[in-house]
Amino acid sequence: MVRPSFSIKIDDKDLESQFLKKMGSISVVDEIDSISDSVHINFIDNEKNLAIPKSGVKLQLSIGIDEKNVNIGTYVIDEVVLSPGDMSVSGKGFDTHANIKKIRSRNYPDDDLYNCIKYLAHENGLNGIISEKFRGIKINIAHHAESDMHFITRLGKKHDAIFKIQDKNLMFSEKIRNKNSRNENIDTLNLSENEAISWNLQLSGRSIYRNVEAQVFNLDTGEKSKVSLGEGAPVLRLPGHYRTSEEALSDCKGFLRGEGYENKNISLELPGNPEVKAGRQINLKNFRNGIDGVWLIKKVSHEINTHYTTRMDLIKYNNEVY
């Protein structure tokens, strides 16, 4: 019988045996395009003698099966909830009150996308891990009255990139790829239908907009203006600001052509697998026509109690038609 296993360190020290004996459950959420992963651990505290962890200390978690554990991540404890016979400890993988969420307006010393993300990572005390693919790509949207977090997210959506902060690293890479940011081959996971406990596919139709609007903000003069393309309703208003009318109109044309509005999502549940991580690619086999192929793992939940279960949400970015 497969048995779930785990190991926990707090401030680089193995968790005391009194905690391990009273473990109730572990839940971990790992997601791309999100500021922080999270962990939630429940302890049975009937004797009311468990020491309360201090806020702000590091928690390192590894999980697996049959004592073969894989490092899941490092989190900062930010919440403890006590109730009769129970203690719950929660943590985030990144300080959600960090400067990256403060509203700013910025000019950049270099408008190359790669260098811009590198600069923002450094400004927020992070190590920038960026795909080489983004070198030489010019930024054509202005950073005005929005947080660094929101600006990077917009850049990621525009350039079809994954944005993730984990263990003091800011990662920015293309969604479906053969190499990682260090030019190493991507190891794609393989999964057959008979290995899954359950699955569900959702297809949403293409949204049709007849009119697209975009805001332009000139950082040199401070002038604001609006450009639009098309007539009638519904109207799509693009987020953020562009630096010139030409750049704004270029994106308006792209959205009017209907690019990027066909969504394909799969939810999967399978026996616990610590190798399943958000941002990784997974190759589905023997499911059915229209499902088999390479997908991107958008979100993963690992849950351990008496059993270990992994749930994941997958997304597809190519132009296959069902």
Q: Which residues contact 106 (CB under 8 A, 6 or more apart)?
A: 143, 148, 151
pTM over cut 0.85: no
Residue with tokens 């010393």: 109
Q: Are 87 and 42 in contact (CB under 8 A)?
A: yes
Which tokens in the block code for residue 224? 């604001």
User: pLDDT of the chain along its 322 residues, tens only?
Assistant: 567 888 899 888 888 666 777 888 999 999 887 666 899 999 998 988 888 888 889 999 999 988 889 998 889 899 999 999 999 999 988 765 568 888 988 888 788 999 999 999 999 889 999 988 899 998 878 898 899 988 998 898 888 788 888 778 888 988 765 554 445 556 789 999 999 999 998 866 555 667 888 889 887 788 889 998 888 777 888 878 888 888 888 778 766 654 444 567 899 999 999 999 888 889 999 998 778 888 889 899 999 988 899 999 998 754 332 2
